[in-house]
Amino acid sequence: MATIVATCFLVTGITDDDAAKAALQPLFDIFAEHGLGQATFEIVPGEPTRLWVKHKDTVTPDRELIGRALAKAGPYAVVGVGR
């Protein structure tokens, strides 16, 4: 049985709730097809925003795929992987 885990991506451009809401839809559009679950943003002033993606431990989220989805919503980019 697979365990649910979370992967953290560091994102630029998402600095408020409106941007986070705009970025969620393109992510959800790709999630089911790629075995991903929920997503949430953790906005910390002065730091890259953290995007947490929940998924089964048997799935590895694709950083480039997530970056392309975010770019559809606005000037957002994945700049790294967080912890």
Q: Which CATH number describes the domain made up of 4-81?
A: 3.30.70.100
Q: 8 near 51, Cβ under 8 Å?
A: yes
Task: Determine the Cα–Cα distance for residues 53 and 73; give it in Å rounded to an integer.
Answer: 17
Domain spans of the chain, in order of start: 4-81
Average pLDDT, 10 consecutive residues per value, the chain (83 residues)? 93 96 94 92 94 95 96 96 84
Q: What local confidence, expressed as pLDDT, does residue 83 receive?
A: 75
Q: Is 20 helix (H, G, I), strand (E, B) or coil?
A: helix
- Residue linked to tokens 């075995």: 35
Q: Which residues pair with 55 in a beta bridge?
A: 5, 36
Which H or E run contains 52? strand 49-56
